[in-house]
């Protein structure tokens, strides 16, 4: 019976139809971060604080997003995906409106945390829905397609933020985020599949509050999935190190105009899109783990060259732009294969598993953001060092898989 229900779901929600819908939802996270990156210096002036206090809103956002996923994942396992998504997007919408009226940096911190909690609560359903319906290479291809589509958000987000900042003020960015959240609610209500019935047919039973914690503990102790969880978290932390300091690096250190910052940032996303397409074709010939290791090696090598440029006093804008394109572009090879390899081990509690990997990524990213703020010395050294460290640890984590087998 389960296979019959599964085939019906796949018929109504084939990969090419499902991926754009979920990508539109997932894209809210990078969009919520990247649109206001060009506005960070302006927001610092508005709140009359140092720029790095505004940058702290990024790790706070990541922490809120992590807790939102931890809460939303098991709830979606128990009660269904759609309602969790609707509630999460509603919280995000209300917090976005409230940020428009923030008058202090402390209010910004609190509201960004709440906004992120709602976003994490709602977005956690996406990877869980993929795992409900697909597995292995099929899941990797869907994650690849989702990744390609959702890259449009970070590609255009800084440009949109710059335009809104130029035409209006920084508050206009959060007006746009509120509108986007409202669109998300409509999309979830009308287009997102509810896989609860499929999961019931598969034998899933609702979990008590105590069982949720037991499941989380079992997920964390799954020795076969742990290497992919650690790798995903470290690699995500390297991305968040980039996001936290990229405004300072380009706008302040290299004295790049805010308008040029947008297209320099976009180069990284374009390189990720290229790697994403390469990944799609490689999946016809290679297993996801092999492609994952290739991406990690590229990232480690490029980040090592970035760090070396500081010690050799060879830091330049062209070299930094090119090497960051490789570092960030390699995510197109790493992210979908890491997620597919990890989710393979959790067919029944995919919501909780998604929450664990998602919250771990954002908590690692938040920690790196705080460390960057503490180590900031008006040079690229802390940023480059942490990107290299996280990339290296991501690669070494996947090597645990080989040692365990």
The 10s digit of each residue's pLDDT in 79-108 is: 778 888 899 999 999 999 999 999 999 999
pLDDT tens, 157-184? 777 888 888 888 889 999 999 999 999 9
Check: CB of residue 91 under 8 Å from CB of residue 121: yes
* Range picked from 8-17, 181-190, 295-304, 359-368 for highest mean pLDDT: 295-304
End-to-end CA distance of the chain: 34
The number of beta carbons lying within 10 Å of the beta carbon of residue 234 is 24
Phi, psi of 192 (to 5 degrees): -80, 135
Q: Which residue has the higher pLDDT, 100 or 248?
A: 100
DSSP category for residue 286? S
Side-chain half-sphere CA neighbours of 233 within 13 A: 22
- 274: Cα separation from own chain's centroid: 18
Using left for φ > 0, alpha for ψ between -120 and 50, and beta otherwise, residue 222 falls in beta
DSSP category for residue 50? -
Query: What percent of the chain shows pLDDT beyond 70?
Result: 89
Nearest to 239 by CA among 115, 383, 32: 383
Task: For residue 282, give both structure tokens.
Answer: 């490689």
The number of beta carbons lying within 10 Å of the beta carbon of residue 279 is 27
* pLDDT value for 326: 95
CATH number at 2-404: 1.20.1250.20
Domain layout of the chain by residue ranges: 2-404
pLDDT tens, 270-293? 898 889 889 888 988 888 889 999
* pLDDT value for 391: 95
| 3-class state of residue 96 by DSSP | helix
The arithmetic mean of pLDDT across residues 127-141, rounded, is 74
| H or E element at residue 92 | helix 81-99
* Range picked from 30-34, 307-311, 338-342 for highest mean pLDDT: 307-311
């Amino acid at each position: 019976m389960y296979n019959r229900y599964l085939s019906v779901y796949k018929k109504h929600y084939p990969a090419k139809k499902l991926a754009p819908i979920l990508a539109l939802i997932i894209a809210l996270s990078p969009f919520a971060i990247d649109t206001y990156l060009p506005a960070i210096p302006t927001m610092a002036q508005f709140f009359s604080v140092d720029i790095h206090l505004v940058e702290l809103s990024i790790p706070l956002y990541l922490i809120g997003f992590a807790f939102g996923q931890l809460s939303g994942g098991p709830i979606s396992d128990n009660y269904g995906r759609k309602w969790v998504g609707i509630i999460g997007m509603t919280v995000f919408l209300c917090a976005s409106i409230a940020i428009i009226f923030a008058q202090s940096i402390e209010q910004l911190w609190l509201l960004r945390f709440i906004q992120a909690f709602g976003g994490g609560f709602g977005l956690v359903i996406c990877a869980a829905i993929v795992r409900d319906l697909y597995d292995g290479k099929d899941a990797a291809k869907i994650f690849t397609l989702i990744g390609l589509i959702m890259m449009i958000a970070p590609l255009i987000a800084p440009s949109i933020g710059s335009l809104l900042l130029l035409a209006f003020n920084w508050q206009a960015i959060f007006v746009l985020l509120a509108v986007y959240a409202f669109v998300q609610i409509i999309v979830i209500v009308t287009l997102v599949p509810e896989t609860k019935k499929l999961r019931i047919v598969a034998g899933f039973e609702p979990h008590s509050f105590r069982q949720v914690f037991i499941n989380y503990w079992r997920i964390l102790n799954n020795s076969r999935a742990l290497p992919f969880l650690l790798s995903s978290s470290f690699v995500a932390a390297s991305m968040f190190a980039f996001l936290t300091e990229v405004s300072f690096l380009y706008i302040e250190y290299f004295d790049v105009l805010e308008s040029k910052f947008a297209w320099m940032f976009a180069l990284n996303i374009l390189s990720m899109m290229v790697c994403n397409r390469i990944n799609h074709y490689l999946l016809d010939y290679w297993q996801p783990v092999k492609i994952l290791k290739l991406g990690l090696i590229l990232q480690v090598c490029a980040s090592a060259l970035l760090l070396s440029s500081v010690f050799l006093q060879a830091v330049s804008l062209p070299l930094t732009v090119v090497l960051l394109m490789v570092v960030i572009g390699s995510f197109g090879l790493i992210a979908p294969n890491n997620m597919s390899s990890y989710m393979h081990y959790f067919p029944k509690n995919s919501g909780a598993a998604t929450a664990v990997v998602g919250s771990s990524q954002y908590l690692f990213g938040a920690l790196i953001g705080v460390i960057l703020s503490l180590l900031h010395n008006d040079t690229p050294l802390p940023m480059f060092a942490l990107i290299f460290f996280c990339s290296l640890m991501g690669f070494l984590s996947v090597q645990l898989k080989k040692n365990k087998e």
